[in-house]
């Protein structure tokens, strides 16, 4: 196809993806009570099952400081959850766009990677929701610079921490899928992953410190699944082909 034909196909891909996000967003918007009371605000209550499991005592109440905040928070959460729910469809649309450019053997491999990408995304969301958000809330609510300062948590503040944390983990958990694709393209090999393992550990600890602004214990808990993801990426990476090693040695 010509450049303009490719552009037209891309336009259709983007349009269908945005339409799916909008449809799911509207659906989420209509189920306000379930979405907020049973999902979004569940980690704010002391009876949340994670707190019982980890023996945490987390009690908090939210206040609204802006007259229009509740409406716009509703819209924001509906759009973000709409994107989350439509993610497999968006991935499918992206796959249909790039598949014609691949050889048959490449299609089989990359198709599996795209399927795994959806699973990893939801796994990351789950880890962020049941592990990182509760740990972060437990730390921040218990941290005081003075007994005279009372924590009064605004609705916008909580929603910002909640959405940024779970979406960050959803994106970070895509790392193995990205590595496998780069491996198939000949840009990353098992030897490279093993060589830079120590650098990766330092980077993972830094990422964990950023996406979980909590205590060192929480940072290590957040880093554990990321380290497992790195090792999984190494496991699925293929070694450098022998002919490339010979060529590289000859050039050296």
How many beta carbons lie within 10 A of that of residue 128, not counting itself?
Answer: 27
Distance, CA of 131 to CA of 35 (rounded, Å): 19
Find, among 69, 68, 97, 89, the residue nearest to 25 by Cα. Answer: 89
| 80-134 pLDDT tens trace | 999 999 999 998 898 888 888 777 777 777 777 888 888 999 999 998 899 888 8
Residue 106 lies in a domain: yes
Contact call for residues 27 and 82 (beta carbons, < 8 A): yes
Beta-bridge mates of residue 154? 63
CA angle 248, 250, 252 (to 5 degrees): 70
Distance, CA of 114 to CA of 7 (rounded, Å): 22
Residue 147 lies in a domain: yes
Structure-token pair, residue 109: 């491999």
How far lies 207's CA from each of 25, 169, 193, 239, in Å? Answer: 29, 10, 18, 27
Beta-bridge mates of residue 62? 153
Residue 143, helix vs strand vs coil: coil
The phi and psi torsions of 153 (rounded to 5 degrees) equal: -90, 125
Place of tokens 């007994």: 147
Residue 126, helix vs strand vs coil: helix
pLDDT at 158: 93
Residue 70 lies in a domain: yes
Find, among 120, 216, 222, 220, the residue nearest to 177 by Cα. Answer: 120
Residue 248 lies in a domain: no
| 143-155 pLDDT tens trace | 788 888 888 899 9
pLDDT at 251: 53
pLDDT at 25: 96
For 221-241, b/e burial (b = at least 16 CB within 10 A) is bbbebbbebbeebbebbeebe
> Ranked by mean pLDDT, which of 48-57, 82-91, 178-187, 238-247 comes out on top?
82-91
Distance, CA of 9 to CA of 96 (rounded, Å): 10
Residue 252 lies in a domain: no
pLDDT at 156: 92
Task: Tell me the residue range of the domain where 21 lies.
Answer: 3-241
In sequence order, the 6+-apart residues with CB closer than 8 A to the CB of 185 are: none
Distance, CA of 179 to CA of 190 (rounded, Å): 10
Sign of CA dihedral 213, 216, 220, 223: positive
Residue 43 lies in a domain: yes
Residue 237 lies in a domain: yes
Average pLDDT, integer, range 53-78:
89
Contact call for residues 140 and 158 (beta carbons, < 8 A): no
Percentage above 70 pLDDT, the chain: 91
Q: How confident is the model at residue 246 (pLDDT cuts 50, 70, 90)?
A: very low
Distance, CA of 151 to CA of 131 (rounded, Å): 22
Residue 247 lies in a domain: no
The structural domain count of the chain equals 1
């Amino acid at each position: 196809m010509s450049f303009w034909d490719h552009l037209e196909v891309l336009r259709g891909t983007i349009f269908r993806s945005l339409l799916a996000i909008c449809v799911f967003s509207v659906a989420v918007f209509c189920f306000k009570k379930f979405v907020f009371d049973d999902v979004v605000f569940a980690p704010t209550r002391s009876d949340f099952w994670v707190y019982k499991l980890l023996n945490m005592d987390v009690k908090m109440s939210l206040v609204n400081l802006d007259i229009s905040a509740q409406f716009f928070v509703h819209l924001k959460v509906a759009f973000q959850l709409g994107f989350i729910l439509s993610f497999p469809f968006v991935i499918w649309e992206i796959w249909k766009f790039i598949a014609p450019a691949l050889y048959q053997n490449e299609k089989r491999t990359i198709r599996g990677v795209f399927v795994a990408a959806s699973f990893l995304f939801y796994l990351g969301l789950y880890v962020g929701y049941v592990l990182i958000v509760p740990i972060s809330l437990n730390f921040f609510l218990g941290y005081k610079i003075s007994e005279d300062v009372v924590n009064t948590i605004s609705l916008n503040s909580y929603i910002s921490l909640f959405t940024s944390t779970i979406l960050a983990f959803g994106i970070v958990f895509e790392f193995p899928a990205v590595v496998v694709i780069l491996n198939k393209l000949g840009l990353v090999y098992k030897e490279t992953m093993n060589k830079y393992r120590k650098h990766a550990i330092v980077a993972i600890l830094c990422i964990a410190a950023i996406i979980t602004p909590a205590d060192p214990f929480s940072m290590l808990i957040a880093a554990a699944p990321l380290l497992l993801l790195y090792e999984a990426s190494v496991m699925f990476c293929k070694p450098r082909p022998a002919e490339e090693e010979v060529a590289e040695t000859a050039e050296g």
